Amino acid sequence: MPQCDTVSWTIVSEAYAQRGHIQESRWFFDNVPDRDLVSWNSIMSAYARRALFREVIELFAAMVMEGVDPDAVSCLLLLTAHSHIGLGSTGRRIHRHLATAGQDRCNTFLGNHLINMYGKCGSIDDARRVFEGILQPNVFSWNTMIAAYTQNGHFDEARRVFGEMPRKNVVSWNTLLAAYSERGMLCEAKEMFDKMPQKDVISWNSLVTAYAQNGHILEGIHLFRIMDLYGEAPDSITLIAVLDACTAVRSLERGKTIHAAIRAGTRLDLTTHLLVLTALVNMYGNLGCVELAMEAFQGIQRRDVTAWTAVIVAHARNGHGGAALELFREFGLEGMQPDAVAFLSILTACSHAGLLYSGRDFFVALHGDYNVGVTLEHYRCVIDMLGRLGQLELAEEVIRGMPFKADFVSWVTLLGACKTQGDAHRGQRVAEAASSLDPGVASPYVYRYYGS
């Protein structure tokens, strides 16, 4: 591109950024001749849109080093970055710069972002002062101030500001409703929900999720069904919460009903929605329906480690050790690398299902065939499985030879196995080892061992 000016290069850089090609956009930016403020703001906006906030901060610093003075847009981008990262001290310096320039009182847009930043950084008094200094606060100003109060646990103040709002919209109601819901304040959330003159999908999702995640399982499922009757489409978070609720109450019938409602009544494309399908695999696996778990798994187009782990655990938990091992091998053939969490889930499922030899084989694979960091939790599972198999000598060797200092839980696990297997001599030695770590806590376990 011979003899192109700054504007031309900046336009090309912005075009790449708009299409999501951030590296190409950055290349053109780096080669812009005589970069001006527009060029810098453009590339910082591109990074901010992709939530690359540390890069925004680095670019802002580089801009200042080049001698380009920031304007209100630059400061706004920097404020946004700092509010997401939580660097309130730097944000406060930006605010002082804006105040010196006389922009903090008259600019509602900037004021709203300052309130948001201070709220996320926990500086609620600063947020309140900015709000009170805005000459013409709009609905977003009021909503942001309410959110700042709720984020910092000041619910009475949030309710007061909500009551003083000259004009409320559905976002205003949802802000308080979501705050009550997220903190398990179900009475307040239900009261807010019932008073809402207009509800949207966010309103329904907030309350359904609150019920499901705070132990009010049946109420959450009931509200979900009412929501479906009203024609509101739940989001993925709500669907996952309700599916988990069905697992908690051990209700396969409700789970199937909700699965059918998901397929028939939502706008989610289940063939591509990984999280919801994985939740279905988990639910069916927990409720003993391996075939339906497998059906949900096969409906996932792009499977990740979590989805594979869910279907392997579903088979292991329900006694299908051979199928679990076969799926594990397929997992590897797909080019997927199981992580430490995946292995821990599989080992735990094998232990609880009595698939002790399968679990041992998984641990051998973890230790020898995969470059996965073995944790103390993995060793605890193996100690438990070896104890159940009656291989107490090997279990003790594992405890003494593992690359971690043996903890109280590991020794007590083996102590229980010694009691079950009737190995009094080893049990005495293990009890002494447990007592040496925490005599006060260990005493009841040792007493029960000797007293039986």
Q: Per-residue pLDDT tens for 4-33?
A: 567 777 788 788 778 888 888 888 888 887
Q: How far apart are CA 120 and CA 134, in angstroms?
A: 19
In terms of C-beta density within 10 A (0-12 exposed, 13-18 middle, 19 or more buried), how is residue 19 classed? Answer: exposed
Higher pLDDT: 94 or 387? It is: 387
Residue 272, Cα to own-chain centre: how many angstroms? Answer: 19
Q: What is the DSSP string of 164-203?
A: H-SS--HHHHHHHHHHHHHTT-HHHHHHHHHH-SS--HHH
Q: Is the pTM of this model over 0.85?
A: no
Higher pLDDT: 127 or 85? It is: 127
In terms of C-beta density within 10 A (0-12 exposed, 13-18 middle, 19 or more buried), how is residue 409 classed? Answer: middle
Domains of the chain: which residue ranges?
Answer: 375-452
Q: How many CA atoms lie within 13 A of 450 on its CB side?
A: 10
Q: In the prediction, which pLDDT does 1 show? A: 42
Q: Are 355 and 316 in contact (CB under 8 A)?
A: yes
Residues of the chain with pLDDT > 70, as a percent, come to 89
Q: In the prediction, which pLDDT does 34 show? A: 82
Token code pair at residue 449: 């061992």
Q: Are 152 and 125 in contact (CB under 8 A)?
A: no
Q: Per-residue pLDDT tens for 248-289?
A: 888 898 889 888 877 775 555 565 588 899 999 999 999 999
Q: Which residue's structure tokens are 């005589």?
A: 34
Q: How far apart are CA 117 and CA 113, in angstroms?
A: 6
Using DSSP, state whether 86 is helix, strand or coil: coil
Q: Per-residue pLDDT tens for 111-130?
A: 888 888 888 888 899 899 98
